[in-house]
């Protein structure tokens, strides 16, 4: 099915037989065919579109639609896709109208600002957001900033770029004989999940359910996209990461640790071993999946994770932001009001259950 034409190019919905071609042109795990299958398994409607130049697939993106409970309306998301253009807006608008969507949230995998080691603005790129139907979203899906570590540097250069405290903590973990293992089996995932749920409850923040994470693992464990790393001390698991790989990039979406034996610094060694793992695969960069802004202050929610990631000497970047393609303006206002209070309730509930 052809969706739209743009000069000498066409955009159309892809066939299952084009999975391999599609995965070669997308750059982020959330845009892969397998992630789309995971979304379908969660009950969402998924459209995979390919942009063709003279029959050659040159770009692609996936948009998913989530049905609102007990309502005949949906909300669409296109997360970490390519840069937005007129063709994409036209195509998504047509699909969104067919899906009775209130809006579609766009969060492109496009960097707009790069900061230096002192967190001062170093570079800024021109990004076109001048689309009449787009508005700046009142709510982001992912943190707009992230620390990205350059894996093309030598281990010596990477260590030199780290903070003094982070280097010390890595040495301390080694002196305590903390061990790190790469897990590719279900048992390793269950260990990771147990730590993740424990960390979520202890720190009082909202996270997806256990069934969500189990379904994610089932869909991705044999794709080469994700795996588990576990740090242990004297036979006791203390920290665990789930890592994603796509193209020449490594990603750190989820991490968890026990609130005990903190003096052995297991998470610090775990992060360093993840970095070295990325280098062993000849990957180019390690995206730590989100952090606070350059003006982050101690006491701000998420500051501990921010400082942990900052200690590894990555470059702070800012993505182009989050935009909503509004299809139904009246319901869009109502949705945002309801959603605001819903998240207040969920955060309070999570804090109470700590």
For residues 226 and 274, the answer to whether their CB atoms sit within 8 Å is no
> And the tokens for 99?
């899906």
DSSP 262: G
CA–CA gap between residue 87 and residue 65 (Å, rounded): 19
Measured between alpha carbons, how far is 111 from 104 in angstroms, rounded to an integer?
20
Q: Per-residue pLDDT tens for 212-269? A: 999 999 999 999 999 999 999 999 999 999 999 999 999 999 999 998 999 999 999 9
pLDDT at 195 over 90: yes
pLDDT average, residue stretch 89-118: 97
Domains along the sequence of the chain with CATH: 2-110+321-352 (3.40.630.30), 148-318 (3.40.630.30)
- The model's confidence at residue 349, banded by pLDDT at 50, 70 and 90, is low
Alpha helix locations (H) across 139-237? 155-161, 164-175, 186-203, 210-220
Read off the pLDDT of each residue in 192-214 and give the average, rounded to a whole number. 86
pLDDT of 199 strictly over 80: yes
Alpha carbon 45 to chain centroid, angstroms: 20
pLDDT category, 177, cuts 50, 70, 90?
Answer: very high
Q: Which residue bears the tokens 């034996």?
A: 261
Kindly provide the residue ranges of all beta strands, DSSP E only, lying in 92-133, ordered along the sequence: 101-107, 111-115, 121-124
Q: Sheet containing 226-233: give its strands across.
A: 121-124, 111-115, 315-319, 145-150, 285-287, 249-257, 236-246, 226-233, 179-183
Contact between residue 133 and residue 106 where contact means Cβ atoms under 8 Å apart: no
pLDDT of 294 > 60? The answer is: yes
- For strands 285-287 and 249-257, give the pairing: parallel
Residue 5 has what pLDDT?
A: 56
Residues 6+ apart with CB under 8 A from 221: 184, 186, 189, 227
pLDDT band at 343 (very low <50, low <70, confident <90, very high): low
Phi, psi of 177 (to 5 degrees): 60, 40
Query: Considering only CA atoms, which of 275, 311, 318 is closest in space to residue 294?
Result: 318
CB atoms within 10 A of CB 43: 8
Q: What are the pLDDT digits (tens) for 49-69?
A: 999 998 899 999 999 999 999
């Amino acid at each position: 099915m052809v969706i739209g034409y743009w000069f000498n190019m066409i955009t159309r919905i892809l066939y299952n037989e084009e999975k391999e071609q599609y995965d070669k042109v997308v750059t982020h795990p959330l845009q892969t065919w397998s992630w789309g299958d995971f979304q379908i398994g969660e009950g969402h409607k998924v459209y995979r579109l390919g942009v063709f130049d003279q029959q050659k697939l040159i770009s692609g993106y996936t948009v998913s639609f989530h049905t609102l409970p007990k309502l005949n309306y949906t909300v669409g998301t296109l997360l970490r896709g390519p840069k937005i253009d007129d063709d994409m807006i036209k195509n998504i608008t047509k699909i969104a109208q067919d899906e009775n969507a209130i809006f579609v949230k766009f969060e492109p995998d496009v960097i707009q600002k790069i900061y230096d080691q002192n967190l001062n603005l170093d570079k800024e790129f021109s990004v076109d957001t001048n689309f009449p139907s787009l508005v700046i979203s009142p709510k982001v899906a992912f943190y707009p900033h992230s620390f990205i570590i350059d894996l093309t540097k030598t281990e010596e250069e990477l260590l030199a770029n780290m903070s003094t405290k982070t280097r010390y903590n890595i040495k301390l973990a080694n002196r305590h004989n903390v061990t790190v293992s790469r897990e590719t089996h279900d048992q390793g995932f269950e260990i990771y999940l147990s730590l993740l749920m424990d960390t979520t409850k202890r720190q009082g923040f909202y996270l997806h359910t256990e069934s969500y994470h189990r379904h994610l693992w089932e869909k991705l464990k044999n794709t080469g996209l994700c795996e588990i790393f576990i740090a242990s001390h004297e036979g006791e698991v203390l920290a665990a990461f789930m890592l994603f790989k796509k193209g020449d990039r490594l990603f750190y979406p989820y991490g968890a640790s026990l609130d005990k034996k903190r003096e052995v610094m297991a998470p610090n060694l775990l992060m360093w071993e993840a970095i070295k793992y990325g280098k062993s695969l000849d990957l180019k960069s390690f995206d730590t999946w989100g952090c606070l802004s350059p003006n982050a202050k101690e006491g701000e929610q998420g500051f501990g994770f921010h400082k942990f990631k900052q200690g590894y000497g990555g470059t702070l970047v800012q993505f182009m932001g989050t935009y909503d393609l509004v299809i139904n303006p009246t319901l869009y206002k109502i949705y945002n009001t309801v959603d605001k209070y819903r998240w207040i309730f969920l955060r309070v509930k999570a804090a109470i259950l700590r």
